Amino acid sequence: MMFKNVNGVDIQLTAQEEADRIAESNAGIALKPMQAWEEDMKATDSTIPRWFEDYVTENSVTLAPGRAKDSYDAKVALRGEKP
């Protein structure tokens, strides 16, 4: 049973209200993996910005081994893990 507070009085939710709250809660839970992935992607922008990633991909640029290549490879791998 779920309740809502109306003017200081706890009132039991109707079956529809309870179903709506459960659906909202489940929708929020479903978003969490996507939100976590987006945060991880934003964090990679400090080393390789999106425009650079796109430039390398679209122009088939071969990066020399080193930090830029490692960062680019990590970002591309992370992009492949999108939920």
Read off the DSSP letter of residue 65.
T
Q: Which residue in the block uniquely carries the two structure tokens 């992935």? A: 37
Element (H, E) at 66: none
Q: How many CA atoms lie less than 13 Å away from 24 in the CB half-sphere? A: 6
* Domain locations in the chain as residue ranges: 3-80
Record the pTM: 0.56
Read off the DSSP letter of residue 7.
T
Rounded-to-integer distance, Cα 29 and Cα 69, Å: 35
Residue-wise pLDDT tens digits, 30-63: 668 888 888 889 888 888 898 999 999 999 899 9
Residue-wise pLDDT tens digits, 1-37: 888 888 988 888 888 988 888 888 777 676 688 888 8
Rounded-to-integer distance, Cα 54 and Cα 32, Å: 26
